[in-house]
Amino acid sequence: MKVLIVGGGGREHAIAVSVAKSRKVEKIYCAPGNAGIAQIAECVPIGVMEFDALAAFAREKEIGLVIVGMDDPLVGGLTDVLEAAGLRVFGPRKNAAILEGSKAFSKDLMKKYKIPTAAYENFDTPQAALAYLETASMPVVLKADGLALGKGVLICHTREEARAGVKTIMEEKQFGDAGNRLVVEEFLTGREVSVLSFVDGRTIRTMTSAQDHKRAGDGDTGLNTGGMGTFSPSPFYTREVDDFCRKYIYQATVDAMAAEGRPFQGIIFFGLMLTENGPRVLEYNARFGDPEAQVVLPRMKSDIVEVMEACIDGRLDEIELVFEENAAVCVVLASGGYPVSYGKGFPISGLEHFNGRDDVFCFHAGTKQQDGKIVTNGGRVLGITALGSDLRTARAQAYEAASWVSFEKKYMRHDIGKAIDEAEV
Ligand code: AMP
Ligand code: GLY
């Protein structure tokens, strides 16, 4: 079978590596891909929002499976366009991708179906939001309704900050149309854990847990980023937590979407906060996390293409998902200045160390080929993942491997996986 992957970041590289292991796959294409993906797939210069061009390409190449990795095309309806062209697509249709595309929708869904989440109110005008904030207790969390690269969330400790936040999101429109509506949410405290799952509209199979590090600086300081590093499994995701989530969150979400006439086929990413009162859903994503995929997928034993086809055909109940009993840590190498402003085009050296290894991976996020060299081409440049028998071993190996690679202004956090030491394991 020929497979087309839509996207071009570290997540798509991790997906491509998993797809390449499938015995069902003869060729992989990726649009637009990057320099790392190009080592195992044919990259084609079609943008992820060029829906008609993607459909035409997939038909011409007789693609048997299209995998949509990114949120923007999913929320924009790429799956619907490809399906209308007769293609088989892994990823939710537009009416289901709204689970990620609108935080107001997802909050209302959770409320209606009694899925545990932070208390909240939705607002369509800044006046109404400001009036509400006069009596709300602080801290409070403001969320732009739509997609904002993970940056549309403001945690406000004072009323003054909250008023300014409403202005930033709804009046100055810092996150564009994503800020047309606003969710004002109760501030929760606890450990954050990510759980990804395969869903076929009816059945859900969860993957092993992971934890991300969203802030740019060591000690969780600095601005929010797309994610600076991950590890899997999370030592805080205990049997008890899993039981709770199975009972009140996972199947309940899938059933709620089906009951709303929006059956969800693809990946649901549950962003969970483990509070004193039990797990709460912070957010849903309609795709693999980036860089969660870079630690979860290398641990997956099951054939990813078989699982995805089972999702498309509504027979996920026949599939057992199997993961290795090991651990993985991913350290993101970014370009200095990320997430604000950073240079591009710096040559990268040391990549050859990863050739032929199956215990360490160098997933490319923002890279490209230029004059026969691989150069940086984004804020997050590479994700260095190591597998190990346990989290500490994997972490030591990931940092060792991260030292093999150099490029100008290379930047990374030095404390990825610090929570590992805080867990009683
Ligand atoms: P989200 O995009 O909704 O996951 O929010 C981004 C980040 O903001 C999360 O990963 C949390 O660290 C933080 N966050 C979101 N909602 C809350 C909340 N209700 N209480 C505390 N922190 C939150
Ligand atoms: N790493 C968080 C996300 O992919 O949204």
Burial of 322 (0-12, 13-18, 19+ CB in 10 A): exposed
More confident: 311 or 150: 311
Alpha-carbon separation of residue 111 from 40, 121, 185 (angstroms): 44, 11, 13
Interval 60-71 mean pLDDT:
97
Spatial contact of 260 and 229, defined as CB atoms under 8 Å apart: no
Residue with tokens 């790392």: 36
98 band by pLDDT with thresholds 50, 70 and 90 = very high
Alpha-carbon gap, residue 345 to 367, rounded angstroms: 8
Ligand closest to Cα of 147 equals 1
The answer, yes or no, to whether residue 425 has pLDDT greater than 60, is no
Spatial contact of 98 and 76, defined as CB atoms under 8 Å apart: no
- Could you read off the pLDDT of 160-173 as tens digits, one per residue? 999 999 999 999 99
Angle at Cα 6 formed by Cα 5 and Cα 7, nearest 5°?
A: 115
As given in the structure block, the two tokens for residue 396 are: 């030591």
- Could you read off the pLDDT of 240-288 as tens digits, one per residue? 999 999 999 999 999 999 999 999 999 999 999 999 999 999 999 999 9
How many Å lie between the centroid of ligand 2 and the Cα of residue 347?
27
Residue 424 pLDDT: 67
- Could you read off the pLDDT of 225-251 as tens digits, one per residue? 999 999 999 999 999 999 999 999 999
Ligand 1 pocket member 283 (CB < 6 A): yes
Alpha-carbon gap, residue 174 to 146, rounded angstroms: 12
How many Å lie between the centroid of ligand 2 and the Cα of residue 384?
16
Ligand closest to Cα of 210 equals 2
The C-alpha R_g of the chain, in whole angstroms, comes to 21
pTM score of the predicted model: 0.96
User: 27-32 and 42-43 as β-strands: parallel, antiparallel, unpaired?
Assistant: parallel
Q: In the predicted model, what is the mean pLDDT of the chain?
A: 97
Peptide bond into 263 cis (omega under 30): no
Alpha carbon nearest to ligand 2 atom 2, residue:
289
CA trace torsion 291, 194, 71, 283 (10° rounding): -140
Interval 88-103 mean pLDDT:
98
**What percentage of the chain carries pLDDT values higher than 70?**
100
- Could you read off the pLDDT of 374-413 as tens digits, one per residue? 999 999 999 999 999 999 999 999 999 999 999 999 999 9
As given in the structure block, the two tokens for residue 1 are: 């079978």
Contacts of 263 (CB under 8 A, 6+ apart): 96, 201, 202, 257
**Measured between alpha carbons, how far apart are the two ends of the chain, in Å?**
43
Closest CA to 269 of 250, 255, 242, 247: 250
How many Å lie between the centroid of ligand 1 and the Cα of residue 62?
41
Residue 151 pLDDT: 78
The answer, yes or no, to whether residue 94 has pLDDT greater than 70, is yes
- Could you read off the pLDDT of 108-148 as tens digits, one per residue? 999 999 999 999 999 999 999 999 999 999 999 999 999 98
How many Å lie between the centroid of ligand 1 and the Cα of residue 175?
16
Contacts of 135 (CB under 8 A, 6+ apart): none
As given in the structure block, the two tokens for residue 354 are: 């990863």
How many Å lie between the centroid of ligand 2 and the Cα of residue 270?
10
More confident: 35 or 224: 35
- Could you read off the pLDDT of 293-336 as tens digits, one per residue? 999 999 999 999 999 999 999 999 999 999 999 999 999 999 99
| Ligand 1 atom at minimum distance from 212 CA | 10
Spatial contact of 22 and 303, defined as CB atoms under 8 Å apart: yes
Which amino acid appears at position 230 of this protein? T
Give the DSSP per-residue string, 331-373: EEEEETTTTT------B-B-GGGGTT-SSEEEEESSEEEETTE
